[in-house]
Amino acid sequence: MSDGRQLYQEVIMDHNKKPRNYGVLADANRRAEGHNPLCGDHISLSLRLDDDLIREIAFQGETCAICKASASMMTANVKGKSVADAETLIQEFRDMATGKLDTATQSHHLGRLNVFAGVRELPTRVKCAVLPWHTLHAAFHEESSATTESGEF
Amino acid sequence: MTPVPMPKQTAAVLDVDKIRADFPILMRQVHDLPLVYLDNAASSQMPQPVIDRWVRYQQNEHANVHRAVHALSEIATREYEAARDKVARFINAREPREIIFTRGTTEGINLVMHGFGRAFIQQGDEIILSALEHHSNIVPWQMLCEEKGARLRIIPMNDAGELLLDEYEKLFNTHTRLVALAHVSNALGTVNPVREMIHAAHRHGVPVLLDGAQAAPHMAVDVQALDCDFYAFSGHKMCGPTGIGVLYGKAEWLEKMQPYQGGGDMILSVTFEKTTYNAIPYKFEAGTPPIAAAITLGAAMDYLSGIGMDAIAQHERALLRYATGQLRQVKGVRLIGTAQEKAAVLSFTLEGIHPHDAGTLLDMEGIAIRAGHHCAQPVMQRFGVPATARASFAFYNTFAEVDALIAGIHKVQKVFA
Ligand SMILES: Cc1ncc(COP(=O)(O)O)c(C=O)c1O
C-alpha cells in the first residue's frame, strides 16, 4: 500500500469522523483564520493562552479530510504545550510535509504526527496538511489570517 | 432505477481503439495503473500526427514570419497563414482575416475587452454576462466596468444549470453594449441556446462574444450560422498545443476596434509622430506570434476534421448518457448540472467527502479528474458547494473508462465508510 493511501486510511478512519477539539472557544484570547484559496479550504482556530502555555485550543472549518485530520491531530498534540514547543512542532511538521525533514532518519518531536509524512507523495495536497499549522503560527503572532499562498512553504 | 445498458450502436460511430492508438500518452501508466484521463475540459491530449507536425516544423521549416525574403521565412509564413485558413474553415468564418491567433481563450476575451470594450463602452453602459461563466469571461469585464463606470448584468439560471431566457430578454435596455456568454459551461456542461440568444441580442442591436473554449473541441461550430460577433477558444483543449488560441471576429467589428498590444507586425509605418496600423488580422498580432503552435493547431483541426466533429459529438453524447446513468446509481452522489442540453462534463459531489479527497483517491487508481471550483466560483456559490469533482470526456474516452470511474468512486466511498 502506498504511503498516500495509508495516510488516508489511518487518519481519515479516525480523525475525519471524530475530529478532536472541534468547535469554537468562547473564552479564547487568540484567534486566526486559515485559507487555501486553491481548494476553498477554510479553518478557524481559537486558543486560550496562559502566559506561554496553550491551555485550550479548538478548530472549526470547511475542509478536506487531510486538512481536518491534520487540524485534529495538531490540536490534540499542542494542547498543554508551551508556545515554544508548539513552534518547534510547526517547523518540523512543515519540514516533514515538504520533504526537508526525513522522519525516518532524522530526530524529531512529531510522534504520531509522523503519519503525515505520506503527504509528500501527494504534492498537490501538502498545503492541505500544512494549513492548520500555518494558522496556528499566525495565531501565536497575532496575525488574524493565514493563507497557503504566502510562499512560506 | 433501471441499469443503463452500454450503448452498442456507437461502436460504429467511432473506432475508439484505433483512435486511442494515435495518442501515446493514453498508453502510459500512472501509479502503476493504466491512465484513465477524464480531465479533458482542463486540457486535452495530443495525437501523434499533431506532435509530428510540431517536430517537422522545428526540424525543417522554422524562421520568423512576415519579415524576411529568405526561403525558410517564406515557408514559415506560408504554413502559418495556411493554419489561419484551416481555422477559418474549421469554424466556417467568411474570411481568414477574421481569424486572430491569440494565446488562448483568456487572451481572446481580453483582446475584445481592450479593442472593443475600451472603444465602445462608456460610463453608464451595461454588459450582459451569464451566471455560469468561467472567471476569464467575468474578470476582464469587471476590470472594464471599474475603469469606465459601466456595470454587469447577470443572466440567472435554474437548478439544472440552464439559463433563464425570459430573464435574459428583460436585461436589455438602451445602455446594453455587449453580451459575453459561454457557448458551453466548463463547470456544468450546459450547452447554452446561443443561436437564439444571439438573435435576441441582435434584435436590440447588441453584439455577442461567445466563449467557445468548451464548445469548439466537442461540436461543429459555424460562426456564420450562429451569427456571433466574436468567438474565442483555446488550442490546448482540442488536441493542439498550449500557448495558442483563436479569436474570431466579424471583419466589420475588427476594422473598427483599437489594437490590443503595440509592437512589430501590427503596424504599416512608424514615425515618432504617428503610427499607421496594419490591416486585420495583423493589427491584433503584435510581435512574433506562436508560429509553431499555430501551425500545430492547424494540424489538430485536420485531425479532428478527419474523425468528424459530428461523429465526435455523437460518441461523446453516448458516453455522457451512459456515465450519467451509472453515476446516478451511486449512493450519495449529487450531480451538479443537469441541463437538457449538455456536453460530456459530469460535475458532482459525494456526500461527506470533499472533492479534493475524491480527486486524490481517484488519482491513486490512475483516474485523472479535476476537483475544485473550476474557475467558476459564482457557479459554486449558486449551487451552494465550495467545489465539485468533475469528470470531462473526449472522443478518445471509452465506456470501460466510465466503468473505471464508477468503480473508483465506490473505492473512495469505502475509504470514507
Ligand atoms: C469556458 C472556459 N472559458 C475560458 C477558459 C480559459 O481558457 P484558457 O485558460 O485556455 O485561456 C476555459 C478553460 O479553462 C474554459 O473552460
SS (H, E, C) chain A: CCHHHHHHHHHHHHHHCCCCCECCCCCCCEEEEEEECCCCEEEEEEEEEECCEEEEEEEEEECCHHHHHHHHHHHHHHCCCEHHHHHHHHHHHHHHHCCCCCCCCCCCCCHHHHHHHHHHHCHHHHHHHHHHHHHHHHHHCCCCEEECCCCCC
Write down the pTM of the prediction.
0.92
> What order do you get walking across the sheet with A53-62 strand by strand?
A53-62, A41-50, A30-36, A145-147
CB contact under 8 A, A65 and B357: yes
- CB of B360 within 8 Å of a chain A CB? The answer is yes
Do B154 and B229 lie in one domain? The reply is: yes
Residues spanned by the domain of B142: 51-306
Three-class SS of residue B133?
coil
Do B319 and B298 lie in one domain? The reply is: no
A61 backbone φψ class: left, alpha, beta (φ>0; ψ -120 to 50): left
**Percent of chain B scoring above 90 in pLDDT:** 90
Q: What is the DSSP letter of B375?
A: T
Do B169 and B284 lie in one domain? The reply is: yes
What's the confidence (pLDDT) of residue B1? 46
Q: Using the 3D structure, point to which of B306, B340, B374 is the last residue of a domain.
A: B306
Helix (H) or strand (E) run with residue B305 in it? helix B291-307
Structure confidence by residue, pLDDT tens digits, B178-192: 999 999 999 999 999
The one-letter amino acid at B299: A
Q: Using the 3D structure, point to which of B306, B325, B340 is the last residue of a domain.
A: B306
**Percent of chain A scoring above 90 in pLDDT:** 64
The DSSP bridge pattern shows strands B333-336 and B275-277 to be unpaired
Do B244 and B324 lie in one domain? The reply is: no
Q: Indicate whether B124 belongs to any domain.
A: yes
Structure confidence by residue, pLDDT tens digits, B385-412: 989 999 999 999 999 999 999 999 999 9
The one-letter amino acid at A117: A
B330-338 long-range contacts, CB within 8 A, separation 24+: B330/B406, B330/B409, B330/B410, B330/B413, B331/B413, B332/B413, B333/B409, B336/B161, B336/B187, B336/B188, B336/B383, B336/B385, B336/B388, B337/B160, B337/B161, B337/B185, B337/B187, B337/B188, B337/B189, B337/B190, B338/B160, B338/B161
Q: How high is the ipTM of this complex?
A: 0.85
Average pLDDT estimate for B30-42 = 96
**CA–CA distance, B73 with B79 (Å, rounded to integer):** 10
- CB of B356 within 8 Å of a chain A CB? The answer is yes
Measured torsion, CA atoms of residues B344, B345, B351, B355, in degrees rounded to the nearest 10: 140
Q: Going by C-beta distance under 8 Å and a sequence separation of 6 or more, which residues neighbour residue B273?
A: none
- Contact in structure between B409 and B403 (CB atoms under 8 Å): no
Do B324 and B265 lie in one domain? The reply is: no
Do B353 and B297 lie in one domain? The reply is: no
What's the confidence (pLDDT) of residue B210? 98
Query: Which candidate, A66, A69, A16, A74, places its Cα nearest to that of A47?
Result: A74
CB contact under 8 A, B364 and A2: yes
Residue in chain B nearest A41 by alpha carbon: B386
CB contact under 8 A, B372 and A4: no
CB contact under 8 A, B372 and A40: yes
CATH code, domain carrying B15: 3.90.1150.10
- Tell me which residue in A5, A65, A122 faces B354 most closely, judged by beta carbons: A65
**CA–CA distance, B234 with B214 (Å, rounded to integer):** 9
Do B162 and B250 lie in one domain? The reply is: yes
Query: Which residue, among A2, A8, A43, would best test binding to B if mutated, counting the most B CBs under 10 Å from its CB?
Result: A8
CB atoms within 10 A of CB B253: 18
**CA–CA distance, B126 with B206 (Å, rounded to integer):** 11
Q: What is the DSSP letter of B8?
A: -
Q: Indicate whether B45 belongs to any domain.
A: no
Structure confidence by residue, pLDDT tens digits, B97-133: 999 999 999 999 999 999 999 999 999 999 999 999 9
Measured torsion, CA atoms of residues A44, A47, A52, A53, in degrees rounded to the nearest 10: -120
B228 catalytic? Reply is no
Q: Indicate whether B44 belongs to any domain.
A: no
Residue in chain A nearest B380 by alpha carbon: A40
Structure confidence by residue, pLDDT tens digits, B215-266: 999 999 999 999 999 999 999 999 999 999 999 999 999 999 999 998 888 8
Helix (H) or strand (E) run with residue B182 in it? strand B176-182
Can the peptide bond before residue B281 be classed as cis, meaning omega within 30 degrees of 0?
yes
Do B141 and B289 lie in one domain? The reply is: yes
Q: Using the 3D structure, point to which of B275, B306, B337 is the last residue of a domain.
A: B306
Three-class SS of residue B403?
helix
Structure confidence by residue, pLDDT tens digits, A36-84: 877 778 999 999 999 999 999 999 998 999 999 999 999 999 999 999 9
Counting DSSP H helices and E strands in chain B, the numbers are 15, 17
Q: Where are the domains of chain A?
A: 3-147
Q: How many domains does chain B have?
A: 2
The one-letter amino acid at B129: L
What's the confidence (pLDDT) of residue B7? 54
Q: B153: which strand partners? A: B128
- CB of A114 within 8 Å of a chain B CB? The answer is no
Q: Indicate whether B68 belongs to any domain.
A: yes
Fold exhibited by the domain A3-147: Sufe protein. Chain: A (3.90.1010)
Helix (H) or strand (E) run with residue B311 in it? helix B309-328
Do B232 and B368 lie in one domain? The reply is: no
- Contact in structure between B287 and B264 (CB atoms under 8 Å): yes
CB atoms within 10 A of CB B188: 32
Task: Return the C-alpha cell found at A96.
Answer: 516533514
Do B175 and B265 lie in one domain? The reply is: yes
**CA–CA distance, B402 with B386 (Å, rounded to integer):** 25
Task: Return the C-alpha cell found at B391.
Answer: 469528470
How many alpha carbons fall within 13 Å on the CB side of residue B230? 30
Chain B residues touching residue A61 (CB < 8 angstroms): none
Residue count (chain A): 153
